[in-house]
Every structure is written in C-alpha cells, then in structure tokens.
Amino acid sequence: MGTREARCVERRDMYKSFRVKNFRCFKDLQINDLGRVNLIAGKNNTGKTALMEAMYLLTKPMTTTVLLDLQASRGLEPPVVSGANYNRQFFYRYDPNEHILFQSEGNDASDQARILKIFELKNTAGNSQIFNDHRLDLMSDGLEKVAAARRVDQIDSCLYLDFRNGSGESYSLALFLDRPANSQRELEAPSNFIPVQGRPDNETAVENFSNLDRAGRLSILQDTLMYFEDELSDLRLSQPYGELLICGRVNGYLIPLKLMGEGVNRTCHVLLTMMSNAKSLLFIDEIENGIHHSVQCKVWKAIGRVARELDIQVFATTHSYEMIRAAYDAFKDDDNDDFRFHRLYHDSTTNKIEARTYNEFGMNAALSREYEVRG
C-alpha cells in the first residue's frame, strides 16, 4: 500500500541521462547523452537487457507486477512466498546491504530527477508493522487468521520500493510475492517492453491494427513490410481459419502475417506498438531477431520516422554488427540528431561495467576505422 495517494499525472519527458546502481550486474553505471533512438551493444554479460529493464522499471515504479513480468520474460517464475533467496538475485553480487537505485534526468531542467530505490526488508521487530499489514491484506483476501499468520512467519524478507517523482513527491510500498498486484497507474510514464521472443497476444494486435486502419495510418506499416515481401499489396483483418487475424495479400491470396516469418512479425509488432502508443518509451531486446541485414536500414528509417512523429523514445539492444551499421546508415543524414549508440564494456581499471556513447560523428569515425564497436 502506498504511503501517499497520487494526485496527478506526471508530465513525461524523454530520458536525458540514466543511472543504475546495485542492480543485477551493475555496481554503478551512469549513461549520459541519451537520444530519441538509442542502440545498446556489448559483449555477453555486460548488462544490455538489465539496463533496459532498469529503465523500464523506473517508468512503472509502483506497479509491482512489472518486476515479476520481467523475470517471467527471462523464463524465471517466482516462488509462492517472498524470501531472501529470491529477492537477492536483483542485487549486485547478491548483496542486499546496499539498496538498488534507478535515477533519470529529463529534458526539462525545472523537473527533479525521478528516483526509485529498492531495499530488502527483513522480517524483524523493526519492520513488524509492514509484515503485520501484509497479514491483514492476506486476511482481506480471504485467508483465515491462523493461516495468514503462518504465511507471514514463513517470509524472512520482502522488497521495499521507494519512489520520488519529478515534482519531489514520495511514494512507497512493500512487494510480497503472494500479493503482487499493486499499481498506481497515475505515477507511470507510458512505456512498453518487447522481449527477445516477444509477440503481442492476437487480441491486442488486432485492436491496434483496427485503430490505425480507422485512422487511415497503415501506410507506414504496409510500406515497411513490403521490404520483406515485395508482392505484398494489402493489409487487412480477415478470418481465414475462423479467428480474426492480421493478413496480407500476396499474389492475390490473403495470408496471415503469422505465416510470413519472424522478420515480418517482429517488425509489425514494433511498429504497431509505436503507432498505438504516442508520447511513450519503447524498449526492444535484441532487435535484430529475424530481420535480414538487407532490410535493417529501412526498418530503422521507419522506426526513426514514427519515433519523431509520435514523440517516442526508443531503446534497443543488439549483438549484430550489421544492425549497428544499418542504424548508423539510417540516421547519418538525420538533421534532428536523433540517434545515439551506447557500448557497454567491462573497465579493467575499475572492475565495473561502463558505457561509451557515440553520436553520428563518433560512429562515423569508429566505423570508418573499422573499430570493434560491439563490445
């Protein structure tokens, strides 16, 4: 339960800088000069996905299911009740003695930083009120008094979230795994996270497609998908097998997009998500999946166009040199200076993961000299 009730929606600004501390593989990482479109690369285990998870968590600081959803996208399911063994996996080197910190600065200097801190709280006398409140919550859910008390006695620790928004107002709540569905939507910044194998459920895809069709805004989507299938002449909703599906006309036949390959479906997912969520942040893990190198530059051009027109900030990770080169080629003549490339690497002197950021000029110098930019 939050310590305060939110009163208003906080105005969204793009992230200009971001700091993550004591989260997963990060001891303390500061990343600056974030652009409208950001591509993140690095060797394995340098925290590309973890960095985007941290940024995404800060957009939904008081929505307790988000942390669990991110774990599920990695194939990890939570135990029945909270416990130290589960909670500590989020902390740097599994050490909860230091709190986790996520902090962002926006474009508006008048705003204060958005800050989310995550602590581990032990089930001790000093925290008895928090654990007693959880017992009462379990009883309000229908658990008998004795069973609720027994359940709380089994919990040795929980996660405690403390958030300060851009106006300096503070909110907090305790995350218990057996009662996670707490949300304060009014504190959220609109955002979406597309995991490596992520596809939208069909109902969401159809709804987004229908809204864009009614608004007459399907041309960007169709033009981009034609790079994958040059015989594609139409996009529409149809029921070829009884279920309403997004279909494309190829050689005179309506074919479900689900049958057209991973590149078509992933690009469709990304663009539909963007075009249905103006003024938001989008996080895409391993964006290159299924997208052939011959069309990657054109996909980036479409992403850049939609991001500018709808005021969307994009973060994506990649392992692919071709995808990095394609992004550079797509944005190198961009007068808006929208693109930034961030390379994560282990610094041997500090033994920490650091970030090196390249704008268009820096990328040109690195690529022309054939520097290794992937990690």
SS3 readout for 289-352: CCCCCCCHHHHHHHHHHHHHHCCCEEEEECCCHHHHHHHHHHHCCCCCCCEEEEEEEEECCCCE
Rounded CA separation 243/233 (Å) = 22
* Alpha helices by DSSP H, 123-218: 128-140, 145-154, 202-214
Transcribe 356-371 into DSSP letters: EEE-HHHHHHHHHTT-
- Percent of the chain with pLDDT strictly greater than 90: 73
pLDDT at residue 181, rounded to an integer: 76
Find the range with the poorest average confidence among 268-272, 310-314, 371-375.
Answer: 371-375
Per-residue confidence at 360, pLDDT binned at 50, 70, 90? confident
Provide the whole-model pTM: 0.92
Give the pLDDT band of residue 9 (cuts 50, 70, 90). Answer: very low
- What is the identity of the amino acid at 316? A
Q: In this predicted model, what pLDDT tens digit does every residue of 314-326 receive, in sequence order?
A: 999 999 999 999 9
Rounded to an integer, the average pLDDT of 17-41 is 97
Range 86-94 average pLDDT: 95
- Per-residue pLDDT of 131-150, as tens digits, reads 999 999 999 999 999 999 99
Over range 184-196, report the average pLDDT. 90
Residue scoring higher pLDDT (202 or 336): 202
| pLDDT tens digit sequence for 275-305 | 999 999 999 999 999 999 999 999 999 999 9
DSSP type of residue 277: S
Q: Where are the domains of the chain?
A: 17-36+61-185, 198-274
Buried-exposed string 189-203: b where 16+ CB fall within 10 A, e elsewhere:
bbbbbbbeebebeee
